[in-house]
Structure 1
Amino acid sequence: MAGFGVKSPLNSFLNHMNDMQFQKDGHRMANAMSIAQRESLTPLYDHINETVISKYVFAPFDDLLVAHLRCCRALVVDNDPIQAFHYKCQGIQALTKVLTQLKDENWILPVMYTSAVELRQLATVADQYKRKTGDTSTHVKPDECLEEAAAQLMACFRICANDNRAAHDVSKRKGMINLINQLFKIYFKINKLHLYKPLTRALENANMNSQFSLAQTVTYNYFTGMKSLFDSDYKKAEELLSFAFNNCHPEAHKNHRLILIYLIPVKMLLGHMPSDHLLHKYRLQEFAPVIQSVKEGNVRRLDEALEANAHFFWGNGIYLILEKLKIIAFRNICKKVALIVDSHQIHIQVIMTAMKHLYDDSITLEEVHCILANLIFEGKIKGYISLQYQKLVISKQNPFPPLSSVTA
């Protein structure tokens, strides 16, 4: 390479990288090796020479640098996100060798964090680019790059998880939660949530909670809370999502809103209705008519409210979860009827009349029996159905227990 012995751009770059490696400055190296700096590396793109780089940079850092420069060149010069993604994968493979080589050291973890985020982002862009340009075939999966990114990150995760002999302060296991959060984002995107359980189990067994940053813990609780919600484990979901909301950075308004999109349905299923002030503050007025309908026990309006904002609810994956609020609305109908008749023995025909008004004019007696039986079975109403007298007999003491005490 002409002029390398003098002060060439590649010479300066390699010296800079060697200095950071010698000083074990992972944060500076992560910043220098981020694709966000790709424009500043433009003078190097015509001089990417593996032989020269290998001569001045120890392996396997040389492979990491070559892959990084080629990835940046693919973005800046070639405008090819698919090729850039493939070079980023090569960079992750080189990074796994670096992780393996550095015994009892974890200063390189910031580089891994940055690389993991950028790999996921490039995979997303590459898959979108394929769909947009029609660069797909019948045997290619729609999220092929994201799945490949997950496989690459799992290789890093195994190395970190298996670093169980090093002391906590130098253990690579500190990097597990960051990788898990990136993998969660991918699994939610490609709808493979069943893959998350081995990751959470490994993290629990690592016993490294005190080493994880609050920001990473908040993200982890957000995703595990979402998964608990989808698994109908509402109490656990409330605990995890509440932690994420209460510990999220005060100025991270967008993140607070994202958390609330899942925390609000959990709270409602547990009988806690959010205030209008909260909905207005975080621009979540889509929930307002849903909340009002459940309070009133107006199932017909609840159906209308869900349909009116179906695009928002489906888009966030909570439509079917919100439909479970119908049983609570039915419970509120029974509760209002019980207050009106002021008796622990309620004619089912009276309940049926209320349901015709607030739900469906054509509802049958058998359907009312079924709804009441479900409410009793789930513990939302304490009582029994007297078929002989066609009455709902409710407990004289606390016939409508708090939902938080009866909901899983």
Structure 2
Amino acid sequence: MAFMTLAHFLQILDRSWRNQDGNKIAQFMSLRHDHAKYPNYQVEQPEGLVDRFLTSPLDELVCLHLKCLYSISRDDFLMAYNLQSQLIQSFTKILQAQKDENWALPIMFTVCSDLRLIAQRAEKQRVGASENPGEILEKAAECLMGCFRVCAADNRSAEEDTKRIGMLGLVNQLFKVYFRINKLHLCKPLIRAIESSPFKESFPLGQQVTYRYFVGRKAMYDSNYKAADEYLTYAFQNCHRTSRKNKRLILIYLVPIKMLLGYVPSRYVLEKYDVIQFWDLVQAVCQGNLRLFDELLEQHETFFIKCGIYLIVDKLKIVAYRNLFRKVYLILNTHQIPVESLQSALEYLGQDVDLDETQCIVANLIYDGKIKGYISHQHRKVVVSKQNPFPPLTSLT
């Protein structure tokens, strides 16, 4: 690649465009391809040379691409973003004009992915970014939506012809933007569009894995844990076995969801994918060891907050309460448990609670179905069912 002249490069693009070879063009329009790092492709004013080899509409795209490479080579990501944004706006018009063709979809995926990555770099470089953080990424999402609308509007029914087969790839790019700028409500219409698509099962498996990963995370934030478990489990099981980094990323969200639903992850899996920090948490929850739970929550606070799972992990404390109270029940061997006994167990494990707070914790557990029984306030006792007073958490899902 280092020895290919720019003229030769342009000839390849021209030939590929005439042959409608979308994959080849996508390769040579990618900012991550080898050619992007060589100075002879980083041209500030490429119009003269480009016009000698290319005709409309490809010439405009390539000029913008080469200018973008030039800006990146000088670490000017704000200018690079503007140029890549113009490129996508021009490409969207081309895509819309190709009424009965979808061979340009690979190009769309490439230039849209590059726009998102440049926008992320531009956000970091932007002066005064603290005033409107995420503004560039939000504008990038608007560009991506232009391509999405073109694809969604193609009503041809044949899978090999319609542009709708390109919808999921764009949705995944939009998800990555919306999650980064914390505007998850914008995901809802995209999810609805994919779920109602007749090509739902025909999208490439890799795109389906990414889609379910993000939809699972959104379900988690919406407290729909059963759906989160379903989507994230699919993503983990179908993620390629060599993609250890992605599998680890999925597990970071799947493990606390599984624990909330009463499943205990294996130490082997946690070690294999380098999320062993969850193992002590598993032990603390299963044992009802609230002191250890609080220590681990504080110890790994930065990690949990960075991953966006702190509040989910914190909710595991209610499961730890349930397991602790079950231990008290087994020790006392009675269906009428004095509230004072539960309070003593909590205080022993470092919880600063009075009698009323203890009753409140028990009431929440009863309300959630984690304990079968009621509180006798007159006698200060928790009266639990004689049959299965602490039902398995998995039976509650």
Bin of the TM-score, shorter chain as denominator length:
over 0.9
Distance apart, 1:39 and its partner CA: 3.1
Alignment partner, residue 245 of structure 2: 254
**Residue 150 (str. 1) matches residue 141 (str. 2):** yes
Alignment partner, residue 113 of structure 2: 117
SS state of the match for residue 266, structure 1?
helix
Distance apart, 1:222 and its partner CA: 0.6
SS state of the match for residue 125, structure 2?
helix
Alignment partner, residue 31 of structure 1: 27
Q: Which residue type is aligned with residue 322 of structure 1?
A: V
Q: Which one of the candidate residues 42, 45, 69 is aligned to 2:43?
A: 45
- Correspondences of 1:47-66 after superposition (within 5 Å): 48-49=46-47, 53=50, 57-66=54-63
Q: Deviations over 1:252-297 (max 9, x none)?
A: 1111110000000001101112122222212212212221111111
Q: Which residue type is aligned with residue 310 of structure 2?
A: Y
Q: Deviations over 1:37-73 (max 9, x none)?
A: 22347157266116x6457544332221221111112
Alignment partner, residue 206 of structure 2: 215
Distance apart, 1:405 and its partner CA: 2.9
**Residue 387 (str. 1) matches residue 377 (str. 2):** yes
Unaligned stretches of 5+ in structure 1? Answer: 1-7
Identity %: 46
Decide whether the 8 Å contact of 1:10 with 1:47 is kept in 2. no
Equivalent-residue separation in structure 2 for 1:44 and 1:376 (angstroms): 66
SS state of the match for residue 103, structure 1?
coil
1:64–1:166 CA distance, 2 compared to 1 (3 A) = farther
Q: Which one of the candidate residues 66, 74, 90 is aligned to 1:69?
A: 66
Q: Which residue type is aligned with residue 116 of structure 1?
A: C
Q: How many equivalent residue pairs?
A: 392
Decide whether the 8 Å contact of 2:212 with 2:235 is kept in 1. yes
**Residue 161 (str. 1) matches residue 159 (str. 2):** no
Decide whether the 8 Å contact of 2:41 with 2:69 is kept in 1. no
Q: Which one of the candidate residues 323, 341, 363 is aligned to 1:373?
A: 363
1:79–1:326 CA distance, 2 compared to 1 (3 A) = closer
Q: Which one of the candidate residues 292, 313, 324 is aligned to 1:322?
A: 313
Distance apart, 1:13 and its partner CA: 3.3
1:137–1:281 CA distance, 2 compared to 1 (3 A) = closer
SS state of the match for residue 210, structure 1?
coil
Equivalent-residue separation in structure 2 for 1:243 and 1:204 (angstroms): 15
Q: Which one of the candidate residues 266, 285, 290 is aligned to 1:294?
A: 285
Q: Which residue type is aligned with residue 28 of structure 1?
A: K
Distance apart, 1:128 and its partner CA: 1.1
Distance apart, 1:205 and its partner CA: 2.1
1:43–1:191 CA distance, 2 compared to 1 (3 A) = closer
Q: Which residue type is aligned with residue 22 of structure 1?
A: R
- Correspondences of 1:331-346 after superposition (within 5 Å): 331-346=322-337
**Residue 101 (str. 1) matches residue 97 (str. 2):** yes
Alignment partner, residue 354 of structure 1: 345
Equivalent-residue separation in structure 2 for 1:10 and 1:266 (angstroms): 52
Equivalent-residue separation in structure 1 for 2:52 and 2:271 (angstroms): 61
Equivalent-residue separation in structure 2 for 1:188 and 1:230 (angstroms): 11
**Residue 136 (str. 1) matches residue 128 (str. 2):** yes
**Residue 179 (str. 1) matches residue 170 (str. 2):** yes
- Correspondences of 1:272-311 after superposition (within 5 Å): 272-311=263-302
Q: Which residue type is aligned with residue 48 of structure 1?
A: P
Alignment partner, residue 5 of structure 1: none
Decide whether the 8 Å contact of 2:112 with 2:144 is kept in 1. yes
Distance apart, 1:14 and its partner CA: 3.3
What TM-score do the two structures reach when normalised by structure 2?
Answer: 0.94
SS state of the match for residue 160, structure 2?
helix
Q: Deviations over 1:2-44 (max 9, x none)?
A: xxxxxx9554333322211121111111001111222347157
SS state of the match for residue 393, structure 1?
strand
**Cα RMSD for the two superposed structures:** 1.9
SS state of the match for residue 170, structure 1?
coil
Q: Which residue type is aligned with residue 83 of structure 2?
A: Y
Decide whether the 8 Å contact of 2:248 with 2:273 is kept in 1. yes
